[in-house]
């Protein structure tokens, strides 16, 4: 299966800000996980997807009240029971955040279960992301 990018947007409001007047990292983490989950849920039953680990969220720029952020997410690596999402956040074509999240495919008893998904990276960018995700899984 080729890698497909999912998009979701969030408006930064006053209630999303920290004491510095920039987007609070905790709120960003919530949206970050949601974006990764959406990418995983597009490939399998959402009821069988749980978050295992946020591998990191690297902020390169702050976000401010009134900005509309685009969360781009895609599954870049599939293990036997795991799916690794890459999430990139942009504002006006500027990347302000990037990172990876691992999800596990589980059965109705919340035990890991193979998902049968294979991911094919084609572009040089996706191949590099897939290699980065594989390194996180070790």
What domains appear along the chain, each with residue ranges and CATH number?
6-136 (3.10.129.10)
> Comparing C-alpha atoms, which of 58, 62, 39 is closest to residue 97?
58
pLDDT, tens digit (0-9, with 9 covering 90-100), for 27-84: 999 999 999 999 999 999 999 999 999 999 999 999 999 999 999 999 999 999 999 9
> What's the predicted TM-score (pTM) here?
0.94
> Comparing C-alpha atoms, which of 83, 80, 79, 7 is closest to residue 50?
83
pLDDT, tens digit (0-9, with 9 covering 90-100), for 113-124: 999 999 999 999
């Amino acid at each position: 299966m080729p890698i497909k990018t999912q998009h979701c947007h969030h408006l930064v409001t006053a209630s999303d800000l920290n004491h510095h007047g920039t987007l609070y990292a905790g709120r960003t983490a919530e949206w970050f996980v949601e974006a990764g989950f959406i990418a995983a849920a597009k490939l399998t039953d959402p009821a069988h997807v749980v978050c295992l680990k946020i591998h990191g969220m690297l902020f390169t720029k702050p976000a401010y009240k009134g900005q509309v952020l685009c969360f781009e997410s895609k599954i870049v690596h599939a293990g036997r029971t795991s799916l690794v999402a890459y999430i990139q956040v942009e504002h006006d074509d500027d990347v302000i955040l990037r990172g990876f999240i691992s999800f596990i495919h589980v059965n109705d008893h919340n035990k890991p279960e193979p998902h049968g998904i294979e991911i094919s990276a084609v572009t040089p960018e996706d191949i590099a992301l897939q290699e980065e995700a594989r390194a996180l899984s070790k």
